[in-house]
A = this chain, B = another copy of it.
Amino acid sequence: MSSDSPIGVFDSGVGGLTVAREIMRQIPNETIIYFGDTARVPYGNKSKETIIKYSRQIIRFLIDKGVKAIVIACNTATAFAREEMSAEFDIPIIGVVRPGANAAAAATRNQRVGVIGTEGTINSHIYNEFLNMTNPDIKVFGKACPLFVNLVEEGMTDDPVTDAMIKRYISELVNDDIDTLILGCTHYPLLRHAIERFVGPDITLVNPAYETARSLKEVLLASDLMCKNPPAVPKHEFYVSDGADKFKTLANTILPCDVRDAILEVLNE
């Protein structure tokens, strides 16, 4: 493991690619090894114990591949497993929650912040915790939107049914007079335009993917781990636990690079 080693990024499926995309944009010399746990997607309605077990398996796999740092590109896994995994493994592990919470705390003017995410993320109250660590006066309004992940996975990002569900899930947050809304699930940036249409220009949308890539850059700089001998074109690698072809198709619509292969990798429980 050296500063030229790759960065490990994982998620339950394709959602974490919104984080990988930001990393590719902000620190383009870095190489990514991505793992999408497509055999066990979704994570959002599973228990803490199960998510910790799955995260541990994936982190071991990524460490075996020689990564220098790990990004948990999944809000549910960050909420349930980041702390435990940081204690278990001797490698920097960056989650998506703290960066998103910091950005929202900086953006809000009326101290009323909405968070949308999976049941697991919302019920963990992890965003409340980090937001109030930064500013105890912030009032946090959380709303679980369990169907959003499925709508994204079905490619229904611009669809009247999705608009109806956005209205149903988010109306109460708008009524709560929030001025900032955290997209607290890595699938949700793919619904950004539809959500913007509904909430209008007065509510600031916070995409933790952007902030997470910025945090990662800071951690690499602070630990002297930025790539020193950048390749002409980084050779990113993509591993999935099921459905490699479907993943590849979706990845090519999300990422700026050409994803030629997604490799099937079965993890041992």
Copies in the complex: 2
Does B243 contact A45, Cβ atoms closer than 8 Å? yes
Residues on B with beta carbons closer than 8 Å to the beta carbon of A146: 150, 154
- Chain A residues at the B interface, C-beta cutoff of 8 Å: 38-40, 45-47, 50, 146-147, 150-151, 153-154, 160-161, 164-165, 168, 241-243, 246, 266-269
User: Pick the contact of A46 from B46, B47, B153, B243 — CB < 8 Å?
Assistant: B243
Which 4 A-B residue pairs are closest in the complex by CB-CB distance?
Answer: A150-B150, A269-B269, A50-B242, A46-B242
Residues on B with beta carbons closer than 8 Å to the beta carbon of A38: 46
Does A161 contact B165, Cβ atoms closer than 8 Å? yes
User: Pick the contact of A154 from B40, B47, B147, B154 — CB < 8 Å?
Assistant: B147
Residues on B with beta carbons closer than 8 Å to the beta carbon of A147: 150-151, 154
Does B243 contact A47, Cβ atoms closer than 8 Å? yes
Residues on B with beta carbons closer than 8 Å to the beta carbon of A268: 269
Give the shortest distance, in Å, between A166 (CB) and chain B (any CB): 11
Sample (20) of A-B pairs whose CB atoms are under 8 Å apart = A38-B46, A39-B46, A40-B40, A45-B246, A46-B242, A46-B243, A47-B243, A50-B241, A50-B242, A146-B150, A146-B154, A150-B150, A160-B164, A161-B164, A161-B165, A161-B168, A164-B164, A266-B269, A267-B269, A269-B269
Instruction: Compute how far the CA of A269 lies from the CA of B242 in the bound complex, rounded to whole angstroms.
Output: 14
Residues on B with beta carbons closer than 8 Å to the beta carbon of A164: 160-161, 164
Residues on B with beta carbons closer than 8 Å to the beta carbon of A40: 39-40
> Most chain-B Cβ atoms within 10 A of its Cβ — which of A45, A146, A241?
A45
Residues on B with beta carbons closer than 8 Å to the beta carbon of A39: 40, 46, 50
Instruction: Compute how far the CA of A153 lies from the CA of B150 in the bound complex, rounded to whole angstroms.
Output: 12
Instruction: Compute how far the CA of A170 lies from the CA of B154 in the bound complex, rounded to whole angstroms.
Output: 17
Give the shortest distance, in Å, between A145 (CB) and chain B (any CB): 10
Give the shortest distance, in Å, between A259 (CB) and chain B (any CB): 18
Give the shortest distance, in Å, between A121 (CB) and chain B (any CB): 15
Residues on B with beta carbons closer than 8 Å to the beta carbon of A153: 45
Chain B residue nearest to A46 in the complex (CB): B242
Give the shortest distance, in Å, between A237 (CB) and chain B (any CB): 20
* Other 4 A-B pairs with CB < 8 A, given A45-B246, A268-B269: A46-B243, A47-B243, A164-B164, A267-B269
